[in-house]
């Protein structure tokens, strides 16, 4: 089963995302703190990381750069999200895509499918 790593410190929103992904056949693993992202990603080997730009306990752009610098994780697509349009900053830091909150589940799932399928054809 394909795993999506959801990085968001809003527990209610993370829970909704988990449900959305599981209804589509993904396994969703939730991470609430930036310092848990890389170790968890190494352990669960996600097909995609969905990461909120604004977490209360750290800088997710530095986490994004750390993912890109890691040999085992650098090819994993990262979809960044925020309630403010910071797409340019996220893409410049190495994100594969950006989705502005609020978004519709169908919009999110279409972006995830495109990124995951793109990953499959690159390998």
Give me the pLDDT at residue 30, please: 98
User: 13-50: per-residue pLDDT in tens?
Assistant: 999 999 999 999 999 999 999 999 999 999 999 999 99
pTM for this model (two decimals): 0.94
Q: Detail the DSSP E strand segments found in 1-123.
A: 3-7, 27-31, 48-52, 54-55, 58-59, 78-82, 97-100
Spell out the CATH class of 3-122.
Answer: alpha beta
End-to-end CA distance of the chain: give it in Å, rounded: 18
Beta-bridged to residue 51, according to DSSP, are: 7, 80
């Amino acid at each position: 089963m394909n795993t999506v790593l959801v990085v968001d410190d809003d527990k209610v929103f993370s829970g909704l995302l988990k449900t959305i992904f599981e209804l589509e056949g993904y396994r969703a693993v939730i991470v609430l703190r930036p310092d848990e992202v890389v170790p968890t990603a190494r352990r669960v080997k996600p097909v995609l990381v969905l990461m909120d730009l604004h977490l209360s306990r750290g800088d997710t752009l530095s986490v994004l750069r750390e993912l890109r610098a890691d040999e085992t994780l650098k090819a994993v697509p990262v979809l960044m999200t925020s309630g403010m349009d910071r797409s340019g900053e996220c893409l410049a830091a190495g994100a594969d895509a950006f989705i502005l909150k609020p978004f519709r589940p169908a919009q999110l799932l279409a972006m995830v499918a495109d990124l995951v399928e793109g990953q499959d054809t690159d390998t």
